[in-house]
Structure 1
Amino acid sequence: MNAAQLTINQRPTEKGTLIQAVGEVDLTTAPQLRIPLMDTVNSGGRDAVIVDLSQVDFIDSAGLALLVEARKRLAPEARPLHILLTAGRQPERVLKLGRFDTIMNLAYSLDEISVKETV
């Protein structure tokens, strides 16, 4: 069995801080995503946080819990959390089935994200 792999990239955009994950987000790799995500969440400011899962093949409950934790920490500051997805992939199906679209914005491109949009 191959160990799950995850690559993380982070960059500012005009719409907020983008954290891109490539690979799988599971119990073993979620800590790799946690560090830049929570650093961004805890940085203060008004910028949105954008987590790009469009190149993620798999996300499990550890990854989902991390997204919920980020949303809870951003809520008091009214900072939005946007999740970029690819239609038809496992992360999209899991997030929609779990009704995550009721607590965070699910989008398919940066162009879909409004700078002022909050969930």
Structure 2
Amino acid sequence: MNAAQLTVNNRPTDKGALIEAVGEVDLTTVGQLREPVLEAVNNGSKSAVIVDLSRVDFIDSAGLALLVEARKRLAPDARPLHILLTPGRQPERVLRLGRFDTIMNLAYDFADIA
């Protein structure tokens, strides 16, 4: 059985903090994503947080819980959480089925983020 792998990069953009993930987000890898996401959430900025899952093949409940936690922490300051996705991939299907689009912005292109 292969262990899940995840690569995470983060950088500032003119639209907010961008956290890019590549691989699988599950119980064993979510910690790699948690640190940069929560750092962006807690940085004292008023800008958006953008999590790019467009190159993520799989996300489980641990990853979903992280997104919900980030959204809850951003809400008091009315800061948006944007999730970049690739149409048809597992993360997009799970987030749409779970109605995450009602609490965060799901987008397919960085240019679509306001």
| Structure 2: runs of 5 or more not aligned | none
CA deviations 1:20-76 (Å, max 9, x no partner) are 000000000001100010011011111100000000000000000000000000000
Q: Secondary structure at the match of 1:37?
A: helix
The alignment covers a number of residue pairs equal to 114
> Which position in structure 2 is the counterpart of 1:61?
61
- CA RMSD between the two structures: 0.4
Q: What does 1:1-119 correspond to in 2, within 5 Å?
A: 1-114=1-114
The residue type paired with residue 83 of structure 2 is I
Sequence identity (%): 78
| Structure 1: runs of 5 or more not aligned | 115-119
TM-score, structure 1 as length reference? 0.95
- For residues 44 and 30 of structure 1, what CA distance do their matches in structure 2 show? 23
TM-score, structure 2 as length reference? 0.99
